[in-house]
Amino acid sequence: MTDTALVTLREHLLQALENHPGNETRRLFHGRGRCWPGLEQITVDWLSGIVLVMLFREPSPALRPLLMELLETPQWQASGARGLLLQHRYVHGSESEWLAGEPQAQWPIVEDGLHYLLDLGSKQNSGLFLDMRLGRQWVREQAAGKRVLNLFAYTCGFSIAAIAGGAAHVVNLDMARAALSRGRDNHRLNGHDLSRVEFLGHELFKSWGKVRKSGPYDLVIIDPPSFQKGSFALTQDYAKILRRLPELLTEHGTVLACVNDPDIGPDFLVEGMAAEAPQLRFVERLDNPPEFPDISPESDLKALVFQL
């Protein structure tokens, strides 16, 4: 990060704040896509009125005062922002500090008209990955009348979208039961009928019987972390999921398979599916939101659709 890069950041943010999405939620600046030299380690999100700035590398002592001056500019208040939160992702525990506004431990947001509750300032991830916005939109458009399996469900963002789109039933599986509990909260925020939603707080590879019991599924969503200590390593374990898909799907079932590791390209999924479940053909790769530009399409989020 340089002083010249900070000038670029200021110009970009002032323009973004003038056109912020009001009560909706969007990324305002995505330096992680490496489109702006010197700003690769900073992102800025508009969370329905809260501005979240994430630093993925510590700025130099000389630049920190300039960065803080930029972040504390009066334009934040002029935009109608309710608070400004700075998160140090390079620090163990992702230490956060409120630079403006009343600290909020939890904060309700809106994305495409759907409601989610985020944790602010206490966890590395707040509860919704904004780069998957178009993936959730696609699920919502596809879900009517379908039985859906949502693997690595986290706080159930895909499930919220599926039920909003008219899904008959959704099964959410994640070993983090606290995340699934937040998923229930999110469904309640949207007034959803919880009798159409299951929550399985189990490790996937020890729970195939439970997963099959609620199937078969018209749509299976696979959106794993790149690494989950003791339970999942993407390059080793993704294939184990792919080879199980034919037994989980209905006759013309669909799979949305995702990878968000910058070092792994889309061929990982295409070739893996061909090897482990050749009955499934590749259909399309979903677009990523325009607010997440990336210098390389191989590095950004991969969300690929396959069908029996």
Q: What is the CATH number of the domain that holds 144?
A: 3.40.50.150
Report the DSSP pairing between strands 232-233 and 25-30. unpaired
Q: Lowest-confidence range among 78-82, 139-143, 229-233, 304-308?
A: 229-233
State how far the Cα of 169 lies from the Cα of 147, in Å rounded to an integer: 5
- In this predicted structure, what is the pLDDT of residue 169? 98
pLDDT at 39: 94
Residue 125 lies in a domain: no
- Segment among 66-75, 222-231, 299-308 with least mean pLDDT: 222-231
CA-nearest of 251, 252, 253, 268 to 303 is 268
Q: Are residues 145 and 195 in the same domain?
A: yes
Establish if 20 belongs to a structural domain: yes
Q: What is the mean pLDDT of residues 14-19?
A: 87
Burial class (CB in 10 A: 0-12, 13-18, 19+), 296: exposed
Total domains, the chain = 2
| Euclidean distance between CA atoms 193 and 72, whole angstroms | 43
pLDDT beyond 70 at 164 = yes
- In the predicted structure, residue 230 carries a pLDDT above the cut 70: no
Q: Both 77 and 147 in a single domain?
A: no
Contact assessment for residue 16 and residue 8, using Cβ atoms and an 8 Å cutoff: no
Range of the domain at 191: 130-307
Q: Which of 16-20, 104-108, 209-213, 283-287 has the lowest mean pLDDT?
A: 16-20
Query: Would 34 be classed as within a structural domain?
Result: yes
Do residue 113 and residue 163 come from a single domain?
Answer: no
End residue of a domain, out of 81, 97, 119: 119
Q: Within 10 A of 108 (CB to CB), how many other CB atoms are there?
A: 16
Asked if 289 and 269 sit in the same domain, the reply is yes
Residue 106 sits in a domain whose CATH number is 3.30.750.80
Given this model, what pLDDT does residue 250 score?
A: 97
With respect to residue 283, please indicate whether it lies within any of the assigned structural domains.
yes
Top-confidence range, 120-124, 149-153, 261-265: 149-153
Domain membership flag for residue 95: yes
pLDDT for residue 229: 63
Assess if residue 108 is contained within a domain: yes
Rg (CA), the chain: 20
- 106 and 134 belong to one structural domain: no
Identify the band that residue 59 occupies on the pLDDT scale cut at 50, 70 and 90: confident
The answer to the question of residue 287 being in a domain is yes
Q: Does residue 256 share a domain with residue 154? A: yes
Same domain, 34 and 90: yes
Q: Last residue of a domain, which of 119, 142, 168?
A: 119
Question: In whole angstroms, what is the distance from residue 246 CA to residue 150 CA?
Answer: 16
pLDDT at 228: 61
pLDDT at 142: 97
Give pLDDT tens digits for 63-121.
Answer: 888 888 888 776 777 788 899 999 999 988 888 999 888 999 999 999 999 999 999 98
**In angstroms, what CA-CA distances link 28 with 19, 139, 163, 193, 306?**
9, 24, 28, 33, 31
Confidence of residue 48 (pLDDT cuts 50, 70, 90): very high
Is the same domain home to 234 and 284? yes
Quick one: 156 and 248 in the same domain?
yes
Q: Which of 97, 119, 141 is the last residue of a domain?
A: 119
* In-domain check, residue 124: no
Q: How confident is the model at residue 210 (pLDDT cuts 50, 70, 90)?
A: very high
The reply to whether 152 and 282 lie within a common domain is yes
